[in-house]
Amino acid sequence: MAPTQITPMQLDSKDAAEALLREVLHHKAQIHFGIPESHRLIHEHDVVVLESWTVRDLLLLARRGVFQVALLSEDLIDEELFPFFDWQLKDLGDLLSLKEKVLEVNPQMKTDMSAAVGVQADTAPGASGATGSVVSGANPSTAPGPANPSSKKGALFIDRDGVVNIDHGFVGDPQQVELIPHISEMIAHAHRQKKEVVVVTNQSGVGRGYYSEVDFNRVMNRIFELLSFDGVKIDRVEYSPFHPQATLEKFRLNRHLRKPRPGMIHRATSARSIDLSKSMLVGDRYTDLIAGVLAGVGNNFLLASDQVLRDRQKFEDWTSLMKSKHQLSELMDGISFHVLSGLDEFKIHSK
């Protein structure tokens, strides 16, 4: 179901297993062998290794937060499961060796990782007050969320290219920025409903070397500037520069942040104390919607594009497969889905 470019990394050699171990140790994270108890926190760079599992197990893990999942299987895993996990461990010997190495290097495997990662964007010229919090998948931060859990409110999660601005294909130049009609009205409507507006965007152009993270920030600053002319702003930006075929190794990691995995949504939810059941998501690709469903976003919208029929069908095929083959009817419990022919229709469905 899912496109081949999101295929998880296969750990079919000792070197690959050691690469995973290096990543975990670099981030002072943990490797959990088996599903951690529900009360235990799993941090962003932790890895949950499962020797046996059900799709229901994977769904519940996807709803718990931001972390990586590795499945132990010597056989090819069904393609429709790709949104649920990041790594495939193929060799039992390498897995046992990996576990021994983990205990040998650090028996406790304690972690002080925060679920939030962030860098503040510069303010674009003439865009006073328009700056959002631009969050990179590569730079750790300890920004806390609201202290009072009872203050949780909904959010509007939006894709960037194709929803906020016209998707010209790998937009890395501020001069390419053209806002989608009615985007400012949609943001203003969300703010009137006391919802934070959070961009969640795959930016594999960074990982592929088409443009830099500096270029990405320049594009975002131009977007902030244009939105400020209409008196609206984006509250937070989560972006994933990662891709399995990235030119730099650091951008081949953290696949859990790349949609359709729900990592970016969970990261913002943790940092800002967001209630996902009260939240909405607008995307222009079926992978956006799958990320919303996996995270547990209450209302999901597909913005019509030149591929809307294909994306709607792919999303509906995926949800039908989850319900029929894997008996996960509750996957969509409390979750709605609509198609928008334009952003001006958003208010009709978001009262």
- Catalytic positions are 159, 161
- C-beta neighbour count of 33 within 10 angstroms: 16
Burial letters 106-122, b for 16+ CB under 10 A, else e: eeebebebbbbbbeebe
Distances (CA, A) of 298 to 69, 115, 124, 277, 279: 24, 22, 33, 4, 6
Q: State the Cα–Cα distance between residues 348 and 172, nearest whole angstrom.
A: 33
Residue 40: which residues within 8 A CB-CB, separation 6 or more? Answer: none
Using CA atoms, how far apart are residues 343 and 182, in angstroms rounded to an integer? 6
Give the HSE-up count for residue 137: Cα atoms under 13 Å, Cβ half-sphere. Answer: 31
DSSP 126: T
Beta strand extents in the chain (DSSP E only): 9-11, 31-33, 47-50, 68-72, 87-89, 119-120, 133-136, 155-158, 196-202, 236-240, 280-283, 299-303, 336-340
Q: Which residues contact 171 (CB under 8 A, 6 or more apart)?
A: 161, 165, 177, 205, 219
Rounded Cα gap, residues 71 and 58, in angstroms: 10
**Peptide bond just before 144 cis, omega within 30 deg:** no
